[in-house]
Every structure is written in C-alpha cells, then in structure tokens.
Structure 1
Amino acid sequence: MPGERQDFFAIRPHPYAALVEGQIKRLEARKEVIAEAKATITNEQTLAKLADLDQFYTLYYESSKDLLKQLKSQIHGHKK
C-alpha cells in the first residue's frame, strides 16, 4: 500500500559492519579522552580507575576490530 513505512525506510547494505565501524571510532575517541585525563590527574585512586577503564576500552576496541574483520570477510565471501 503506498505511503506505508516500508516505502520510506530501508536498511543499508551491510549495516552491521558500518555499525561496528562507528563504534570503533567512538572507542578511539574515548581512549583519547582517557589518555588526556591520565596526563593531568595525580590522584592514585582516580588513576587506577582510569587504568581499569582504559583496559576495558582496549579489550572492547580489540574485540570490535576482530568482529569488523569477520563481518567484512563475510561480506567479501558473499560477493563471490
């Protein structure tokens, strides 16, 4: 039926790779903020918390990069 939602909205091809790419960019920005904060903060407890947060974002970043690699591999596999 004309005017229905499906006439106006569509999911772009390979949305999940694009979603993960966006997440990776946000993680990179967060890690930069943490690095800047670590350079200016002297409180040991706060630095320890920042180190934990940095480690979390590092693991998240690395796993996201691995996921993106797998998603892109699937995309290229479907093109064959």
Structure 2
Amino acid sequence: GTFSLFMYISMVLAEGLLARTFGTYLLRPFDMQGSAVWVACLAVAAIAGAAVVNMVGNQLVETSATVTAAVKLVGISALAVAGIA
C-alpha cells in the first residue's frame, strides 16, 4: 500500500534526476551545461526514448545491447592495440 506508493514516487524522481544528469553531461563538451532549457529538453528526450524502447519490446533492447557491446569491444580492442604498439 503506502510503501508501494513511496517506491513509485522515488522511482519517478530518480528517473527524472538521472535524465537531467544525462542532459547536463551531454552538453558539457559544448560548454552549455548551464542552459536550463537544453538540459530539460534532453532530459525529456531521454525519458521519451526510454518509454519508446519499453513499448517496442525486448527484441529491440536485446539487439541494441548486442550492438553496443560489440562497439565497446571494438573500442577496447583498439585501445589495447594502440597501447601495445
């Protein structure tokens, strides 16, 4: 009952804070992390993107996880080769 409601509220707040952090970090290389408008827009886009992925289903998530894992593996391998050379 009550604890479930508290957990739901805390999850919503945590997702919002995580989305704002994502927006801030994404704008940092462009020295725009202080822009409240862009941070909010990117936060909304991140939450909307997560919602779309959840609606599409697990197959897309599995495929994207495989692709990102492959990209990470290639990047780490490139760094290892560059470090050895």
Both proteins in one fold, TM over 0.5: no
| Structure with more helix by fraction | 2
**Shorter-chain TM-score category?**
0.3 to 0.5
If asked which structure has higher relative contact order (CA below 8 Å, sep 6+), I would say: 1
State TM-score, norm by structure 1.
0.36
